[in-house]
């Protein structure tokens, strides 16, 4: 079978042919139909992602497909079942072997492409805004990088939760995408973020995927008792947070990493995914997928992420 693999730490990944894997105890083999690409995939190539597996490994974190074979000890799944798996690795291939306990059945109304686009991006936003930040209806949510794969879901879920959403993104095209997802107010990345947010009454919750100066500006535009979620650092600079300013405005900075919950509270992730798949089946959320590419064009898809030319998700279909 074909797989997109990092053979040696520090080497560029490549598409290669490997043996078909066989499921062991508690595992299932999946014929992979779709795999979502993530900024974390780029970090893994550099070895800088916190959960980079030891080489060699196949890239691809979020998977959707059909159960192809069952390992010993698996009773709740059968061959032919449509499932999604937040695997962390192994998704950019024609087949993959995954722990059966991570497999979540897919409603018939949810496509494989949608399932591959929902897990990390929507799961991150749903758990961050609901479980961690406790966003309330009527509050104001500021989302930076609002047209990216994760930021766009924060706009959509924030609106679904009853918040007024301020979206920041670069350029008219990306701002239009954020508006279509439900943003109430739009701020171009070239504009003064702090000034515009304060003119709109300030932010109660900040969902920041950029870091650096953008986080600093958002921090200064946060209302007293506001909550800030530093979700990612796409701008390349991890901001340093002045603790004395936290005291003055009674602010809370909230750490959140969805992968961490898989180790100490996996049921929270499972419950979130089941909710999101149900919302998708009901038409309450609609993943924005800007590109669907074959496995042979995986590098092209990752380059779209590097160049920030994707709006929403890039999905690979082996």
DSSP string, the chain: -EEEEE-STTSPPEEEE-PPP---TTEEEEEEEEEE--HHHHHHHHT-STTPPPSSEE--SEEEEEEEEE-TT--S--TT-EEEEE-SS--SBSEEEEEGGGEEEPPTTS-HHHHHHHHHHHHHHHIIIIIIS---TT-EEEEESTTSTTHHHHHHHHHHTT-EEEEEESSHHHHHHHHHTT-SEEEETTS-HHHHHHHTT-EEEEEESS-HHHHHHHHHTEEEEEEEEE---TTS-PPPP-HHHHHHHT-EE----HHHHHHH-HHHHHHHHHHHHHHHHTTS----EEEEEEGGGHHHHHHHHHTT--SSEEEEE-
| Per-residue pLDDT at 115 | 98
- 2-119+262-317 has which CATH code? 3.90.180.10
Task: Divide the 318 residues of the chain into consecutive groups of 10 and give the mean pLDDT of each group.
Answer: 93 94 97 95 89 94 97 96 96 98 96 97 96 98 92 95 97 94 96 98 97 95 97 84 92 93 92 96 93 97 90 91
DSSP string, 86-100: E-SS--SBSEEEEEG
d(CA 104, CA 191): 42
Residue matched to tokens 């799944």? 77
Radius of gyration of the chain (CA): 20
Question: Model-level pTM?
Answer: 0.89
d(CA 235, CA 245): 23
- Least Cα distance to 194 among 219, 177, 170 occurs for 219
- Least Cα distance to 203 among 231, 175, 228, 222 occurs for 222
Half-sphere CA count of 115, side-chain side, radius 13 A: 29
- The pair phi, psi for residue 307, each rounded to 5°, is -85, 0
Q: In whole angstroms, how far apart are CA 210 and each of 198, 215, 304?
A: 19, 7, 17
CATH superfamily of 134-253: NAD(P)-binding Rossmann-like Domain (3.40.50.720)
Strand-strand pairing, 140-144 and 164-169: parallel
Range(s) within the chain of domains with CATH label 3.40.50.720: 134-253
Query: What is the end-to-end Cα distance of the chain in Å, rounded?
Result: 10
| Per-residue pLDDT at 124 | 95
d(CA 105, CA 243): 44
Asked if 115 and 47 count as a contact pair (C-beta separation under 8 A), the reply is no
For the packed helices 151-160 and 112-126, what is the interaxial angle rounded to 10 degrees?
70
- The pair phi, psi for residue 53, each rounded to 5°, is -70, 160
Range(s) within the chain of domains with CATH label 3.90.180.10: 2-119+262-317
Residue matched to tokens 């954020």? 178
């Amino acid at each position: 079978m074909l797989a997109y693999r990092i053979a040696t730490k520090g080497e560029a990944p490549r598409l290669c042919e490997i043996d078909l894997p066989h499921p062991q105890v508690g595992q299932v083999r999946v014929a992979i139909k779709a795999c979502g690409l993530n900024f974390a995939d780029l970090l893994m190539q550099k070895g800088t992602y916190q959960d980079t597996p030891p080489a060699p490994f196949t890239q691809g974190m979020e998977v959707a497909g059909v159960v192809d074979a069952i390992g010993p000890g698996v009773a709740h799944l059968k061959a032919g079942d449509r499932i999604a798996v937040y695997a962390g690795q192994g998704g950019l291939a024609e087949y993959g072997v995954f722990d059966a306990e991570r497999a979540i059945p897919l409603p018939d109304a949810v496509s494989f492409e949608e399932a591959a686009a929902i897990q990390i991006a929507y799961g991150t936003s749903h758990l961050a805004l609901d479980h961690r930040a406790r966003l309330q209806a009527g509050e104001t949510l500021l989302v930076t990088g609002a047209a990216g794969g994760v930021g766009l879901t924060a706009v959509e879920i924030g609106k679904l939760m009853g918040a007024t959403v301020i979206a920041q993104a670069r350029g008219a095209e990306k701002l239009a995408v954020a508006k279509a997802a439900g943003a109430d107010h739009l701020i171009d990345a070239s504009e003064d973020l702090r000034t515009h947010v304060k003119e709109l009454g300030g932010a109660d919750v900040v969902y920041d995927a950029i870091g650096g100066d953008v986080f600093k500006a958002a921090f200064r535009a946060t209302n007293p008792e506001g909550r800030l979620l530093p979700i990612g650092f796409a701008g390349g600079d991890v901001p340093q947070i002045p603790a004395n300013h936290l005291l003055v405005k009674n602010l809370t900075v909230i750490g959140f990493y969805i992968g961490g919950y898989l180790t100490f509270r996996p049921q929270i992730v499972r419950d979130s995914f089941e909710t999101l798949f149900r919302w998708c089946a009901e038409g309450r959320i609609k993943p924005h997928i800007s590109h669907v590419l074959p496995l042979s064009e995986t590098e092209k898809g990752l380059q779209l992420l590097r160049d920030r030319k994707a709006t929403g998700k890039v999905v690979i279909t082996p």
